[in-house]
Amino acid sequence: MNISDKKLKKLPKDIPTIINGIFDCHRNQLITLKGGPKEVSEDFYCYDNQLITLEGGPEKVGRDFYCDDNQLVTLEGGPEKVGRDFDCENNQLVTLEGGPEKVGGSFYCYKNPNLPLSEIIKFIFRCDIGGFIYSEYSDYDNELLDEINKNKNNKHKIMKLIFNK
């Protein structure tokens, strides 16, 4: 279902609860996802809007979830499970609380200038991430985050990674 580039301020009332395929509402003027589908079998695109919350969005996305280029400060209300990539770059995030429990692919959080590294590390322990984490921190920090993600069940190794840079 494609309702992108329509200058919508809110989602139409006739959106099905389950979308078999792609749901695309990017490049509108949405501030909320209220009334959106609860499950999308493929991709969910809500990037380039004015979203201040992900409340009302899907709980489960079969492939990619793109909420980049909005005004989000938290990921509360976003999907619990994303089959492939989760992209929340270029927002105003200060925390990753409310973020997904599982991301099958990579997690992108570049260009969130108020998002501290400590929030990303906490997120790694809460989320099962199948791929890499991409942030605006240096390459070294991205390598460190990937190592923490790979070893998140080995607290001793993680402490060594963090404190023995």
The pLDDT tens digits for 20-61 are: 999 999 999 999 999 999 999 999 999 999 999 999 999 999
Residue 46 within any structural domain of the chain: yes
In this prediction the pTM is 0.89
The 8-class DSSP code of residue 129 comes to: E
153 in any annotated domain: yes
- Gap between the Cα atoms of 44 and 55, Å rounded: 14
Residue 8 in domain: no
10 part of a folded domain:
no
pLDDT, position 163: 63
The per-residue pLDDT for 142 is 65
* pLDDT for position 162: 62
State residue 81's pLDDT score.
98
Asked whether residue 67 is assigned to any structural domain, the reply reads: yes
Domain assignment of residue 3, yes or no: no
**Cβ atoms within 10 Å, residue 48:** 20
pLDDT, tens digit, for every residue of 89-139?
Answer: 999 999 999 999 999 999 999 999 999 988 988 898 889 998 888 887 755
Query: Does residue 146 sit within a domain?
Result: yes
Pair 134, 108: CB distance under 8 Å: yes
H-helix segments, 28-130: 117-126
Q: Alpha-carbon distance 81 to 87, whole Å? A: 13
Rounded to 10 degrees, the C-alpha dihedral 67/69/72/75 comes to 30
| pLDDT-based confidence at residue 164 (cuts at 50, 70, 90) | low
163 exposure class (CB count in 10 Å sphere: 0-12, 13-18, 19+): exposed
Q: What pLDDT shows up at residue 52? A: 96
Per-residue pLDDT, 149: 74
Encoded tokens for 3: 């309702």
Higher-confidence position of 151 and 53: 53
Within-domain flag for 30: yes
CA distances from 122 to 32, 62, 65, 149 (A): 26, 24, 21, 11
State which residues form the domain around 103: 18-163
Question: How many structural domains is the chain composed of?
Answer: 1
